[in-house]
Amino acid sequence: MGLGGCIILIAAGAILTFATDWNMKGVNLDLVGVIFMIVGLIGVATFSSIARRRRVVVPPTTPVVEEERHHPGGYSNGYGA
């Protein structure tokens, strides 16, 4: 679930909790809305902590040196072949 899904959960939970007055037998819509908002907030917190970890770039401690070796007689395995 991405950031958009978390925001949708928060919005749907707020709508169910604060903007509706429906009564369903056996279902407390206010509680369902609060649960949606809590799950959405947990998702936003998780998403932001993962995104923060991805942005951290640690420079390498030793520089990478690439060498080109030129063999005057072509490539050889050292045994005359």
Examine residue 65 and state whether it is found in any structural domain, yes or no: no
Closest CA to 16 of 29, 28, 5: 29
8 in a structural domain: yes
Rounded CA gap, 68 and 2, in Å? 46
Contacts 24+ apart (CB under 8 A), 29-36: 36/9, 36/10, 36/12
Q: Is residue 36 part of a domain?
A: yes
Predicted TM-score of the model (pTM): 0.61
Evaluate the CA torsion angle 12, 14, 16, 20 in order and state its sign: negative
pLDDT tens figures, 13-70: 999 999 988 888 999 999 999 999 999 999 999 998 887 777 656 666 776 677 776 6
> 39 lies in which domain range?
3-54
Residue 79's SS3 state is: coil
The structural domain count of the chain equals: 1
Residues 33, 16 contacting (CB under 8 angstroms): yes
| 80 domain residue, yes or no | no
60 assigned to some structural domain: no
Residue 73 in any domain: the answer is no
76 located within any domain:
no
- Is 81 part of a structural domain of the chain? no
